[in-house]
Amino acid sequence: MNEELVISNKNELLKLKGNKRRYKRIYLKLPQLNIEENVKWTKIINEQYNCGGDKTGAIYVSVSLLLGCISMIVYFIFTNDIPSQYVKYGLVLSLLMGIVGKYVGKFFAYIKLNRTIEVLEKEIK
- The pLDDT tens digits for 23-56 are 889 999 999 999 999 999 999 999 999 888 889 9
pLDDT of residue 18 exceeding 90, the answer is: no
Rounded to whole angstroms, what are the CA distances from 116 to 23, 58, 67, 121? Answer: 17, 25, 35, 8
Q: What is the pLDDT of residue 101?
A: 94
Element (H, E) at 50: none
pLDDT reported for residue 19: 60
Question: Band of the pLDDT at 11, cuts 50, 70, 90?
Answer: confident
Position 116 scores a pLDDT of: 93
The residue among 1, 124, 116 whose CA lies nearest residue 48 is 116
Give the per-residue pLDDT at 16. 82
Which of the pair, 96 or 2, is modelled with greater confidence? 96
* Reported pTM: 0.79
Secondary structure E strands in 10-101:
23-28
Could you give the CA distance from residue 29 to residue 7 in angstroms, rounded to a whole number? 6
Give the tens place of pLDDT for each residue, 53-88: 889 999 999 999 999 999 888 888 888 888 888 888
- Predicted confidence at residue 120, as pLDDT, reads 92
pLDDT above 70 covers a percentage of the chain that reads 98
